[in-house]
Each structure stands twice: as C-alpha cells, then as structure tokens.
Structure 1
Amino acid sequence: MTTWLLSLITAFSLLGIEASATMTLRSNSQEGIDFKYDHKDPAHKGLCAEVAQLMAKRTKINLTGLATEKTIPKIQTDLNLKKIDIFFCMIEDETRTSFIDFLKPAIFTENLVFLARKDDPVSIRTWDQVRALKDNSILLVNGTAYVNYLKKVPGLHLDDGANSLSINLKKLINKRGRFIVASEPSLRTAIATEGLENQVRILPWILRVEGQYIAVRKDLPPDLKMMLSKSLEELRHTDEYKKILEKYQVQP
C-alpha cells in the first residue's frame, strides 16, 4: 500500500469517512435533470452518472448513494453538513464556494439558453429586449446557479418554484410562463423525453457558457482532492470519456 494511500486512510478515519484499501465516498444523483442523472434508462444513465462511475472505476474509489436522487439545494446542504462527500456536475457559484470546493478541470461545458413555445414569434438577443416585453416571465429549476445569475439581472419576472425541467415544460406549454432558461443539453434531453419537439424551440441567444465541476466537501484531504483532479484530467484524454461526451453531445 502506497504512502499517499495510507495517509488518506488516516485522514479519512479522522473525518468519519469509511476508509479501506478501497475508499468509500458518499454521493447522490440530481433529481429532475435526466441529462445528468437518469435511473429510468439503463442505456442512458445520464452524463454525470456515467462519468462518476468511470471515475470510480479508474480511481478504485467506491461511490455510494448514486441511486438516491435529491434536489440541488439538498445536495448543497448535505455537502455543507458532511452528509455526503462528493457530487458530480455542479456549477461553481459565489454562493457555494464558502462551503464547497470545485475541482478543476470541468467535467464538461454547456450553453445557457432560452426556450420558448414554437407558436411564440419572439426574438431576443439582449436583456433590454427581454425587459421591453410585456410578458418576460422566465421559468427556472429551483436552486440552480442560473437562479442566482438571473436574480442579478434587473427587470425580469422569475419563477423558480419547480424542481424539474419536466414540470417547467408543462408550465410553458400551458402558458404559465413565457420562457425557460436552462442548459441547452438538459433542455434537449427533457424535450425529447416529453415528446415536445414540435411545440417548443431553443432560441439562438447564448447567455453564457458554464462549466460543470466535481463538487466536494471543503474538509476532504488535499491529497484526495489533488488525486481526483489529476484523475479527471487524465480521464478527459481517454476514448471512454470522449465517447460519453459524444453520446450526450457536449464539449469538455
């Protein structure tokens, strides 16, 4: 057994994390975003679930809890309260960095976009154009980093009461909101799942490009954080990893 592994096992035991030659880290899946985690389809488990399993295989770390789905606010709370140790695919946000560390590099990047009904002829390219609309109501998934971002933009009407894109798509179709703002790959997956390709459209304006990272407890051993970052960096160059990104149509 290597010196670094022995030191990690000692540190783990002091932190109350199960430690052995095969270390155990507690994690969870995200509820309501099938693009990231989908327990309904064995062939498409979700990009983040597949990357997590591939990382666990390569690093010999035993990941527990992936079968349990939680909302992002609950996952954040559990990382802060040390009920879980790691989560795959979270945006680095200033409201989170005080109690969560984000490991580099990013797992993948995604475009933040607007979605509208196909029968709505609206065309927007700037926030001034959005503010000028009589109805600029925007549906968001509760607790996501996009909520924090859009709250800083004045003059918008935000509704972040839903815990899933599926709920927001239903609200959009029923005209209980004019737009959805979410990541493009998550939207494409949700639209296909709900069979709404002929009823909605993704607008061409890209608000920003976000990275999705491995999020970990602040007090995880530095050597472990370094090992996970290095493993992800090496993983990004493998055919297995590239096939996962191609499968879900995203960029590293």
Structure 2
Amino acid sequence: METLKELKEMVALVTGGGSGIGRAVALALAREGVRVAVADLQAEKAIQVAEEAKGMGVEALALPMDVRQGASVARGVEEALGAFGKLDILVCAAGTDRIAPFLETDEALWDELIAVNYKGVLHACKAVLPHMVAQGGGTIVNLASDAGRVGSSGEAVYSGTKGAVIAFTKALAREVARYGIRVNAVAPGPTDTPLLHRLRQGHEGLFEAMVRATPMRRLAQPEEVAEAVVFLASPRASFITGQVLSVSGGLTMC
C-alpha cells in the first residue's frame, strides 16, 4: 500500500497506545513514516508497541502515562518533545468502560469513567496545545464513540463521557482553527478489542444484538478505526475540523 507522503517525518503522541484501537493507531501512523510516542498506563504494553513501531523503521518512544493525572500527562508530553523536538499529531485513544444499568452504578464508577474518558482528553489537549500553537499548527483526533452520539443501554455514564468528548472536540476546533490546528473525533461502534472482550463477559446477548443491528453484521477491527484516524490526522483532511466520523458498519446513520 502506498504511504501518505505528507505524514513522513511527522511526530505523533497516542494516549492509550498500548492496546486496542490506540495500538492500531500508533502502528498505522508508524507504517506511514510517523515517529510515535506511545503512551499508556501499562508501561510494558507501551514498550511492546514502540518496539513494533521501530521494526517498521521509524523512531518510537514508550511513555508511562496516567491520563487521569494532569501532571503525568504533562511529564509525558515534555519527554516526547525532548525526544522528537515537536508534536504534530495528538490522538487521544485512552478509554475505559463497564456495562451496568445506571441505577446499579455508583459515584466511584462515574468518577473513573469521567477521569479517563473525558478528563484524559482535557489533560492531553491542555498539555499539547501550547506547543502546537507555538509551532503554528497541528492535528488532534479524539476517540469518541457512537454511544456518545445516540446513547447505549448499559453504558449511560460512558455514553455521557463520550458525548462530552464530541462537544469538546467541536468547541475546541472553533477556538484553535486560527492557529492552524484542526480537531476532529472518530466515533467507533463495537470494535474487536481487549476491552470489548472483557465487557461482553456476562452480556453476550447484548453484544450479539448489537452485531445483528449492524448492517455489516460484524464488529469493527481496530485497524479499520485506525485508518479513519490516520486520514483525519493527515494533510489530506486539511479542510476538515470539528467533525465526528462514525466508523460503525452502519449501526448508526445520521
């Protein structure tokens, strides 16, 4: 496959890059010649993905990062800048979820979902944006979810956090367009990741129903979501900002 020449020598930071969609994004960018900083709470997974990226002939850095903590994110961003000298692309892919009816959830779960799924995006954007403004441009792609667009049974709080990511993405895109910075979101449907396999335990019927409701009758593969992220991160999407691209096999259409 021909690479996107416009991406070569760019530098990307991917949060949640140690597994699932984040891993697929980091490796898809590396395949295009992008130098990648792979950030993850599980440092050993970040190291493994960084080594895979290096095997593709690009520079890569593994960063232990807890997106719930602004100081941890700031340290990781400074380390990436020290290693690469710039950051052209930020992909916020760190996320978590738990399936349960809202009335069976508690505040501890709410706080965890908000801290990872929403505040994690805020922390990363807050840390990276001053550098993008100073260098005169950059691209941010936030991983939202179709649950944030239409809601999902058993995921009320998760849906709320992803809806917040979508609204934040649109508002931020308006604020930073003047600096040459684009901000978009990718909203996957059910995707074949380690997180989904954990979530579906005890809820097989729910996930089977979602697959049946999907016109393409299957789960997304992480690599399919990653391709959408790569496109939005690339100069080929140079006039696209504040948008939400659904990658859901037609599960939602609007």
* TM-score over 0.5 (shorter chain): no
User: TM-score when scaled to structure 2?
Assistant: 0.32
More helix by share: 2
More strand by share: 1
